[in-house]
Amino acid sequence: MEYMSAPEAAKKWGISERRAQKLCEENRIPGVLKLGYMWLIPKDAEKPIDGRLKEWRKTRDEQDFNY
């Protein structure tokens, strides 16, 4: 299996290096390994869904405005 580093994954997924490291620390990426101080992420791993966003949240256009 081929691996990429956290900085490579961050660039690929459009997130910060620190965020990629936190995803590894939280075991949110399957197959991740830690070698010394470096995180190794499988090259075919997909970016985890951002758990900070709520799926049910209405967009601004969908909100009801009662004035």
Mean pLDDT of all residues in 5-18:
96
Domain boundaries, the chain: 3-42
pLDDT level of residue 44 (50, 70, 90 thresholds)? very high
The answer to whether the beta carbons of residues 41 and 27 sit under 8 Å apart is no
Model pTM above 0.75: no
- Cα(33)–Cα(49) distance, rounded to whole angstroms? 20
Q: What is the pLDDT of residues 20-36, one digit of tens each?
A: 999 999 999 999 999 99
Sheet containing strand 33-35, strands side by side: 3-5, 38-42, 33-35
Q: What is the model's pLDDT at position 16?
A: 95
| CA-to-CA separations, 40 to 17, 28, 58, 59, 66, in angstroms, rounded | 13, 13, 37, 36, 51
- Cα(61)–Cα(51) distance, rounded to whole angstroms? 22
Q: What is the pLDDT of residues 50-65, one digit of tens each?
A: 777 666 666 566 656 5
